[in-house]
Chain A
């Protein structure tokens, strides 16, 4: 599983952190997405896919 985030598209909603806090975080100053790991363990796959799906800017792409 490989995760790509587009910080330019990100709208800082934080929905990804709500879905998968072990994988995503937000910058303190502006809330833009920060990837904690771009290749998380498989047991987080469902959460990561949920994060990508709920992102209101579609700024997260997951490649299995």
Chain B
């Protein structure tokens, strides 16, 4: 028996670690599109972007621990096709890799604005993306972040902390509104405004202006143009499944899997790319914790455990001095009540309810208590 993991980021690496921890001693190959050894993404918009951490600090594991896994890492080569029946993966460099079990962990591809490539326009997904953006965040630069979700808000906060003039533009009335609702989104808007971020929200971005191939501004739906030296596009991302077109796997906003994260016989998916049968609907999560937990479930199932994947989702975001932690599945229309602490003090835990069911717990600068409240979700 052999295992091929396609994707060398958190989900891919965790699959390998979990297999080894469970005593699996047979061959494992990991295929990674980037040349970098596995690194962590959450710090890219924060500690790495502001310069507090260097590249080495973003590594998921040091070389010694990677070597101890006794897996073959094939880096700098990407998968271009999968033959499901033979469990054979072809790569851009011409490799043909086969295994008894294939794990798809290829993550996401960030969305971009239509139009030609312009200098000064960035997305942030990879370490190289973050390094390129960091280089452009120089003194005096006017930064416009196009995007009002988690990543956009974190990048805006980091650029502002570096002392730059920052504008956040996006279609929602307040940041993260579709995920966390108007109450918490409103607090995030207040936070960013108080820290000096210019919020131009509630308005779609229609395009970019440029001078000689270098971005000069961001055009809004009402015709206004926000002047910009640097633009970061953080409008979400799509599951990286193009290489699976024609494979026969069901692709629909991700690799569609059963409750065991299985897409076909001997083919599994984990992390941002996987959309699995969760209770009575399909669910796909884009967060760091899911990469780990789903990969652990996949490893168990490769080894025959038949473990249905039923996580309590968790994500966090750090913006300025605020840490927001979210357990469960909040929604914009949930009823939100403060269950501990209070908003005025800037430290609280909120409960999200739909009908009489507790669906999520959110902590605002109250980590330890938030975890305690999470217990209520376990039994909800």
A contact residues vs B (CB 8 Å cutoff): 11-15, 17-18, 26-28, 30-31, 49, 53-54, 56-58
Confirm or deny: B161 has a beta carbon within 8 angstroms of a beta carbon on chain A.
no
Given A15-B289, A30-B367, A31-B370, list of 10 further CB < 8 A pairs?
Answer: A11-B316, A12-B367, A26-B371, A31-B367, A53-B292, A54-B292, A56-B42, A56-B292, A58-B40, A58-B61
Please name all residues of chain B whose beta carbon is closer than 8 Å to the beta carbon of A31 when the two chains form the complex.
Answer: 323, 366-368, 370-371
- Give Cα distance in the complex from A14 to B363, angstroms: 12
Q: Does B86 contact A (CB under 8 A)?
A: no
Q: Which of B21, B42, B61, B367 contacts A53 (CB 8 A)?
A: B21
A residues less than 8 Å from B21 (CB atoms): 49, 53
Chain B: minimal CB distance from A32 (Å): 8
Whether a CB of chain A sits under 8 angstroms from the CB of B314 is yes
Note all chain B residues with C-beta closer than 8 A to A54: 289, 292-293, 296
Q: Give the residues from 337 to 380 in chain B that come closer than 8 angstroms, CB to CB, to chain A.
A: 366-368, 370-371, 374
A12-B325, A13-B314 as given contacts; A53 in contact with B371, CB under 8 Å: no
B18 in the interface, Cβ–Cβ < 8 Å?
yes
Are A53 and B18 interface neighbours, CB within 8 A?
yes
- B323: chain A residues at CB < 8 Å are 12, 30-31
B40 touches A14 (CB 8 A): no
Q: Which residues of B contact A53 (CB under 8 A)?
A: 14, 17-18, 21, 292, 296
24 contacts across the A-B interface (CB closer than 8 A): A11-B42, A13-B314, A13-B316, A13-B371, A14-B367, A14-B368, A14-B374, A17-B371, A26-B368, A26-B371, A28-B368, A31-B367, A31-B368, A31-B371, A53-B17, A53-B18, A53-B292, A53-B296, A56-B289, A56-B316, A57-B40, A57-B42, A58-B40, A58-B61
Contacts of A28 in B (CB 8 A): 368
Q: Which residues of B contact A30 (CB under 8 A)?
A: 323, 367
Contact with A along B309-351 (1 / 0, CB 8 A): 0000010101000010100000000000000000000000000
Please provide the chain B residues from 10 to 61 with a CB less than 8 Å away from any CB of chain A in the complex: 14, 17-18, 21, 40, 42, 60-61
User: Quick one: given A15-B289, A58-B61, are A26 and B367 in contact (CB under 8 Å)?
Assistant: yes
How far is it, in angstroms, between the C-alpha of A12 and the C-alpha of B18 when the chains are bound? 23
Question: What residue in chain B is nearest A12 (Cβ atoms)?
Answer: B367
Count of B interface residues, CB-CB < 8 Å? 24
- Residues of A within 8 Å of B214, CB to CB, are none
CB-defined contacts of B370 to chain A, threshold 8 Å: 14, 31
B288 within 8 A of A: yes
CA A10 to CA B160, docked complex, whole Å: 23
CA distance A27 to B99 in the complex (A): 45
Known: A28-B368, A56-B288. A13 touches B296 (CB 8 A): no
How far does the Cβ of A2 sit from chain B's closest Cβ, in whole Å?
Answer: 15
Tell me the bound Cα distance from A24 to B183 in angstroms: 33
A4 to chain B, nearest CB (A): 12
Contacts of A13 in B (CB 8 A): 289, 314, 316, 325, 367, 371
Q: Which of chain A's residues have a CB closer than 8 A to the CB of B61?
A: 58
Complex-state Cα separation, A9 to B366, whole angstroms: 18
CA of A12 to CA of B315 in the docked complex: distance in angstroms? Answer: 11
A18 and B371 in contact (CB under 8 A), knowing A12-B323, A13-B325, A58-B61?
A: yes
- Closest A residue by C-beta to B365: A30
Complex contacts, B296 vs chain A, CB 8 Å: 53-54
- Residues of A near B289 (CB, < 8 A) are 13, 15, 54, 56
Closest to B372 in A: A14
Bound form: Cα–Cα A27–B371 in Å:
12
Residues of chain B within 8 A (CB-CB) of A27 are 368
Which residues of B are found within 8 Å of A26, using beta-carbon distances? 367-368, 371
B residues in contact with A11, CB < 8 Å: 42, 316, 318
Q: Please, which residues of chain A bring their CB within 8 A of the CB of B292?
A: 53-54, 56
The complex places the Cα of A28 from the Cα of B370 at a distance, in Å, of: 11
